[in-house]
Amino acid sequence: MPGVPCGASYQALPLAYALVLSWLLLLVHAEFSQKPAKLPLVGRKPFLAAWNAPLDLCTVKYNMNISLDLFHISGSPRAVHTGQDVTIFYPNRLGYYPFYTEQGEAVNGGLPQNCSLEAHLSKASKDIAHFIPSEDFQGLAVIDWEYWRPQWNRNWQKKDIYRQRSRELVSRAYINVTEDQIEELARLRFEKSAMAFMQGTLELGTRARPKGLWGFYLYPDCHNYNVHMHNYSGYCPMQESVRNDELLWLWNSSTALFPAMAIRKCHMDSIRNLHFCQNRVLESLRLASMTSMPYELPTFVYTRLGYRDEAMAFLTQKDLIHTIGESAALGAAGFVIWGDLNLTSSRQNCSRVRTFLNYRLGQYITNVTRAAEVCSEYLCQSNGRCVRKDPRASHFLHLSRTSYRIHSNRNGTFTITGWHSQHELQQLSERFHCHCYEGYEGERCESVEPTHTADDEDRGPQSSAESVGSALVLVEIASCTSLLIRRHMQHLPSLVLLTLAGLCSSAALPPTAAPLFAKPFVVIWNAPIYRCDELRVRLDMDVFQAITTPAKVPNQTLTLFYKNRIGRFPYTDPKTLTQYNGGIPQKGDLNASLQKATKEFNQYIPSSASCGALATYMTSTLNKYVVNVTTATELCSDLLCRGNGRCVRKSYDSDDYLHLNINSFNIQKIDGLYKVFGKPSKTDLTAWADKFTCQCYGDKKCVAQIPSGFEYRERSVTGLLTVLLAAYLL
């Protein structure tokens, strides 16, 4: 159903309908302003090993003690235990979670819109106090709610009951409504209530136990389960990445992400398992950088001792590398081993688990966690974790077999002997780079930088301004922020970040500033591509009006001023209470800040395979789309608004886009130039007139009107479009 306009007030922004295209090349995964990593839970351990299986039952039932000293933190999922470092909340342990049983019986109302949120949070508060009694809790708090998903379109198959019951609820409440209206109302009410339950529960947890890391098990999910497909690549379907972007409210409420990777025995040792796991971790890392937090959310990957379809068939050495090893190399904060009661259902099973821990699994965990420490100590001064330079490369954080020996003490502990060679350290620096912890920066995390917290950032639009690869906030939008929609698109090893400024409906749109470059819609490239240049892989940049970088390079069309590049920003470090530049604005030296800012204004304004994949994507998909949409905006402006304004949706929340009709136009690249052949039909113009109106430039007059007759010339497109505004979109 049509949304309600946000109100009569409207803030006209000079560049409010531009688009910022910011590429995060996962090849380097360390662009100039990457958010820092959150400090590890345990000391300076860059890759944490956590245990979350009911192994205590082996002691209770068979008097068989199994050591978990191998793990940095641990906890049993059994309800009899409280005060553990790893606490998992199943549906019956946290508030009044609404769901339907397999028999279709409603529990706690069945639907989130049918259950009292207030009553749920009241009970959840008591449950948190029971299972995590210490207010100083500094572990993992994982909520496992899997009966329904908060997005309507993701409740398929068995979860479709939540859509069916939601429709029935609306049908009983209203008369004389169409099926489409029922569908829309049911969707809106379900999603609003689901969001309130999940977001409210996380906020309750983070308030009650603020030092713990809170998140939902299996979130984010890449939905790359089609492992049986021919030529399976493991990439997250683009639609699923877009849906994950729509869950920004969830990532903003979380303090950690807990994706899961359960692999099947039928694909044992297969490259498919690697592709499956790799892309799930990369998707989590992508989303971890999108939030309003000043650091990237830590990713803890849930995995298992055995295969999904055979719990007691334990992972092979190769599949341990595909799961745990891949997670470490990509930059995850750690992993959690989960298991169910099958592990302890018999004395024999307990004995097999102990043997696996004392040998194959224990040796591998010891190997990869120590290797991560060695790399962190050598490359990052123990102030950051090592991350692959090329995320698709086959480089792992493993101790060299020629330099190290790992000895099992047969009691769950291990002894490491040996020392690394200079050649091995050199290989680390060639294959990995540092992702610095909060408070540190530089190629080797050698520089100390006071950290910011969520309190400084207010969890608002400005918080993303310090991150390239999440959102570049150049203009603060004061109105209608609740209507903004965020879209990120992932393809191959590269990440396209598309941030679209929102539009607000009103009876008459106010004028807007004259467009840059005399174009209604322009695109600027703003991301570091030096690595591809070094690898001599040419990227087709012809469709961009300007090519810029967030690096400290002067005389660019687009210049980003980060906190350390403009003036003297006064603030107080909330952790140390150290005051910088006066601590608070009223104590800061404005003249000194402006003098420094003036100098800075004058200064700044006077893997080969991954690059190849990016180049292919640009030439095959991105550039043609850029040409399409920017040509369409020009045509609509010229024909509907007489060139005196830009076309704007009549309904801000519609699914209408300014695209060239493929039946009327053809885009080709000839002699290095993109050319658009064709002209809009009367049907095309009528569709635009029905769905779009005109927003006039400055004092120009324009009325959305279909021209009585027109002839439009063939046009060449070169460096056509520009991007200049990134608004933080909720």
Residue 659: Cβ-neighbour burial (10 angstroms; 0-12, 13-18, 19+): middle
Which ranges of 339-434 would DSSP assign to H, the alpha helix?
347-358, 360-380, 422-431
Other beta carbons within 10 Å of 69: 13
Which ranges of 209-310 would DSSP assign to H, the alpha helix?
238-245, 248-253, 271-288
Q: Are strands 665-670 and 571-572 parallel, antiparallel or unpaired?
A: unpaired
Residue type, 576: T
From residue 556, alpha-carbon distances to 447, 475, 547, 605, 693 in Å are 27, 18, 8, 7, 34
**Set 105, 135, 146, 296: catalytic member:** 146
Residue 523: Cβ-neighbour burial (10 angstroms; 0-12, 13-18, 19+): buried
Q: Are strands 404-408 and 414-418 parallel, antiparallel or unpaired?
A: antiparallel
Handedness of CA 427, 273, 150, 131 (dihedral sign): negative
Tell me the sheet residues that pair with 299. 257
**How many residues does this entry show for the chain?**
730
Q: In which residue are the tokens 């998140």 written?
A: 215
Other beta carbons within 10 Å of 313: 12
Are 70 and 368 a contacting pair, CB within 8 Å?
Answer: no
Residue type, 665: F
Q: Count the alpha carbons within 13 Å of 175 in the hemisphere toward its beta carbon.
A: 0
146 is catalytic: yes
Distance CA 375, CA 379 (A): 6
Catalytically annotated residues = 146
